[in-house]
Amino acid sequence: MSEKTFIGLQNYVNLFNDAIFWTSLTNNTWVVLTSIFVQIPLGLIMALMLFAPIRGIRLMNSVYFFPFLMSTVAIGLLWVLMYDPINGVINQLINLLGFENIAWLSGANTAMIAVLLVVVWQFSPFYMILFKAAIVGVPEELYEAAEIDGANAFTKFIHITFPMLMPTIVSSSILAIVGSLKAFDIFYIMTGGGPNHSTEIMGTYMFKQAFVNFNMGYASAIAFLMFFIALIVTIIIQLLDYFRKKKGAIS
């Protein structure tokens, strides 16, 4: 590293004029939206299924949670092989259906979707465990009273289970947002931010600036913005939850 020189806010000025940074921020936004609107609902559905009267439910409990226990490096390499454009399992299945091979990780239009599918597969079990623990804590007396009043399963979920899960949903949303904004490993392993920065996120861009270009000041500016965005979004969620509780207390 060269001798340090104080340049004030120039790194932030350069950052806001950097097209690659805006691309990485946009991609991080897609990761956040996927986490909130796909991972969390899927985790809730999986948790509800564990309480359904289905044979082999204990086995399903283990199978559901297995992806979260795997190493991210192993997951990344596994899915890279599965996405192989010639010999990959996914393209082999596509061929059986009569379609042509898709270059999942080397196509700018498909790479981000391919990685997001892996992210959903890996982290949905984590939210499943959170929701399962929360559902177990719902008093059984509430369900018994609802059944006496003639409520069906859907009505009990809407009026009992879902409201009781709101604290868990808020906590899960915060974890999803913070985790999505600081994502790095799975993107770096599977695509390295390519092709043509189509899967570049702030974490991979920060890493390249710091340890490839040795531009530590610029990388630090990216890291601070990652922290700042996560902080602001977390505060907004906490405020919305506070006003929701306050409104519920008043009504």
What average pLDDT score do residues 44-54 get? 85
Q: pLDDT tens for residues 222-233?
A: 999 999 999 999
251, pLDDT greater than 60: no
**Within a 10 A sphere around the Cβ of 108, how many other Cβ atoms?**
13
Find out whether 108 and 195 touch, Cβ atoms under 8 Å: yes
- Which carries the bigger pLDDT value, residue 249 or residue 240? 240
Predicted pLDDT at 59: 78
Element (H, E) at 192: none
97, pLDDT greater than 60: yes
- Which carries the bigger pLDDT value, residue 10 or residue 4? 10
Q: Identify residue 82 by its one-letter amino acid code.
A: M
pLDDT over 70 percentage in the chain = 98
Report d(CA 80, CA 114) in Å as an integer. 10
Element (H, E) at 134: helix 111-136
What six digits make up the tokens of 177?
Answer: 């947002």
Predicted pLDDT at 1: 62
66, pLDDT greater than 80: yes
Predicted pLDDT at 213: 92
CA-CA-CA-CA torsion sign (79, 203, 65, 45): negative
Mean pLDDT, the chain, rounded, equals 91
Report d(CA 77, CA 198) in Å as an integer. 19
Q: pLDDT tens for residues 181-194?
A: 999 999 999 999 99
Q: What is the DSSP letter of 39?
A: I
What average pLDDT score do residues 66-72 get? 90
What six digits make up the tokens of 147?
Answer: 């059944």
What average pLDDT score do residues 39-52 get? 90
CA separation, residue 2 to residues 5, 128, 216, 251 (Å): 9, 48, 10, 62
Question: Which one, of 104, 123, 126, 100, lies nearest residue 113 by Cα?
Answer: 104
Q: pLDDT tens for residues 156-179?
A: 999 999 999 999 999 999 999 999
Q: pLDDT tens for residues 120-131?
A: 999 999 999 999
Identify the band that residue 71 occupies on the pLDDT scale cut at 50, 70 and 90: very high
Report d(CA 127, CA 134) in Å as an integer. 11
